[in-house]
Structure 1
């Protein structure tokens, strides 16, 4: 992120590595839905006891998702990034942090931290189960007792599933971001990495649904409500996210071919003490559409379109000062001609609201000006 995002509305649970932990209201809806699915899994009856167990399992699942997201925040912080928020949502969660000047290493390592955290939780749970010290009854539910061992066993299972699912090499999974970083690092093209990972995400969305529905069919039975619900939820998460990433990559990839030099208007630098007639002559000789007025030490101080001088009567141009047509330029409002895409946008954004024109330099020589309207159209 180039700027801190608008704060997410929801219940604040504190902070982690400098970022707010937020639970969106939609998370409560998903908790209830998951509780229902867990309670009726396998065709069981839905009653107060089964729903209570389902709700406990749903809460444990979201706790594991929270640990997963906090791991992303920890990795981002370790690379010196400011963490903005850790958010639990209807579909799971996300972590936002300062992503300016991102590199393949930072992107890939930050994405990988989430699944690794789930692997660590599963491993810790497995060690605890192996110790045999967790067979403690909490309270009687359903047909048996809910034990500490049962909870830990579920946590191990849930975290293995979270780790494997998030490691799948397609956007929006973390594995997709790792794949994106690998392609980016090898090719030097970030948006090619996004396109590859987004297409992989689309393929995974289809495959996961086919497996979820095909497994019960292979057993000679129709998919139950649980399989249908999970298949629908997974597809609703994966396909739109992968498609959105693909569209974004296509747009931003085209932007990478935009430079200050390709969208600039040709300009010529003219000293502040020249007349309008002299400025017109120099501009016409250089085939320039703009004039950049410079101080005695060559610093740009103003500009004006050559066409603007048409308003000055011809007989007055040889004596008219350029002050009559010059519009001021803030000191330092300049960009190199080779600046591209995101870097160009970042450089210009610092000046938005103070100027709508920037000078373009090439090898220390003013060659053009960039206009805000042209920038918006190109980017």
Structure 2
């Protein structure tokens, strides 16, 4: 049975491929893990910018309206008092501030600083409550150290494959049909504080800007690749690899959609990336929300939540991680349903421990 453990998600059996109408090119091509079985006449060029949808993972919620009404003005009772009474009151008030001759006024004692436990607690900010580890506000590692570590990890993962001209590492990936060439380019590393010490995460995506090289030309059904790495770092700067995946297939036409993946906290001590990937066939867009998280000594996609469905082209689903309780091992997701710019529904999706993933949203 698939279970969740702190620090990562255990593996689960591959989800079954999507099933749709007979001879649906979308359902056949978009089966998970890049295992595509297309027919040439079903394929149209893919929209090349599906990754931009990941920027919509963070939601802006307008604050609730709270306008306190001003009290209505009423005349003061003093204003209705006859003038002669008000004159007497003014004379008495003036006399009360006049110092009588021969009387010595003692100066008021100067204000002294408060003392005692209550005053000390007021003068000092309260201690921060214990919370689950957050991304380090003051990174322990300098940017140069992080860059060095990323380079060393990539050299170890792809030995002798560095392409200095393009800033990437060549990698051969086998599909069900043939072997494809990719050049994996790392993205900036993120350091987080955990109970066991500093942990560094970074991911890489295949380069899509290499021109004039037929090895990096992809057909519509060819997936893009994402690599993910997690490692601990000792005080002397040495690193230990905790988990890695050198090439996970996502997307189509050589684009994984993970170039701009968002690094997020998924649980008390679990971090990963969210992005969208998919493609377009014969004018029909199909894409999914991907969540890549640690799983044992590797990584895997733990999301089965759609972004745009084949049979509902005017509907888009947006997700956000709900981290109200930072001590939870796995945070739930908020899934919002939009038709155009109008929000038409919302649902909370919990992490399914039995399946080891955020299961689908049904007919929502």
TM-score by length of 2: 0.20
More helix by share: 1
More strand by share: 2
Structure showing greater radius of gyration is 2
